[in-house]
Amino acid sequence: MLVEVCFLVSPEGTVLWSDRGTRGALPDSADRWRAIWHHRDELAVIAHTHPGGLLAFSPEDRTTMAAIDAALGRALRYAVVTDRAVLYRDPDGSLSVAADEPAWVAHLRAASAAEHNGEVAHGDSQHHVPGTLG
Ligand SMILES: [Zn+2]
């Protein structure tokens, strides 16, 4: 995994929305909040990756989860996905490691492994060297 990716997932396991952060962070985004609100009636799980492999909810994750639950008026299920495992936090606050990983987990890992939008960049930055001005 290279970058943190966030998925909003329906009860049926459909990925409703996704976005990407950077190697070490998934910054708060107004677009993500809008997507959460837009999909609030069909939203079951909010999952994000930890490319560093930490199978735990960070203090920032807990703050964000509390804010989302407060905004929606109900507690969602949350998931942290690493290369090796999936950690859930259920609406009652209990933590569990997934025994059976749903299909979207593989998609989330693949998205997280890619440098940009599902494709790994190959030295593409050389094509974008700014020219001299004027
Ligand atoms: Zn996290």
> How far, rounded to the nearest angstrom, does the alpha carbon of residue 65 sit from its chain's CA centroid?
12
3-state secondary structure (DSSP) of residue 126: helix
Which ranges in the chain belong to alpha helices (H)? 30-38, 59-72, 103-113
In a domain, 134, yes or no: no
In a domain, 47, yes or no: yes
Laid out side by side, the sheet with 15-20 consists of 15-20, 5-9, 45-49, 77-81, 86-89, 95-97
3-state secondary structure (DSSP) of residue 103: helix
Q: Does 105 have pLDDT greater than 90?
A: yes
Cα(80) to centroid of ligand 1, in Å?
6
Q: How many domains, in total, are found in the chain?
A: 1
Cα(41) to centroid of ligand 1, in Å?
23
pLDDT of residue 116: 64
Average pLDDT over residues 42-53: 95
In a domain, 52, yes or no: yes
pLDDT of residue 133: 39
Cα(11) to centroid of ligand 1, in Å?
21
For residue range 59-86, list pLDDT tens digits in order: 999 999 999 999 999 999 999 999 999 9
Cα(5) to centroid of ligand 1, in Å?
10
Query: Mean pLDDT of all residues in the chain?
Result: 86
At position 128, the amino acid (one-letter code) is H
pLDDT of residue 2: 87
pLDDT band at 117 (very low <50, low <70, confident <90, very high): low
In a domain, 62, yes or no: yes
In a domain, 53, yes or no: yes
The enclosing domain of 38 has a CATH number of 3.40.140
Q: Does 43 have pLDDT greater than 60?
A: yes
pLDDT of residue 37: 96
In a domain, 129, yes or no: no
In a domain, 127, yes or no: no
Q: Which of 63-67, 92-96, 128-132 has the lowest mean pLDDT?
A: 128-132
Sequence-separated (6 or more) residues with CB below 8 Å from residue 72: 36, 37, 40, 43
* pLDDT top residue among 102 and 114: 102
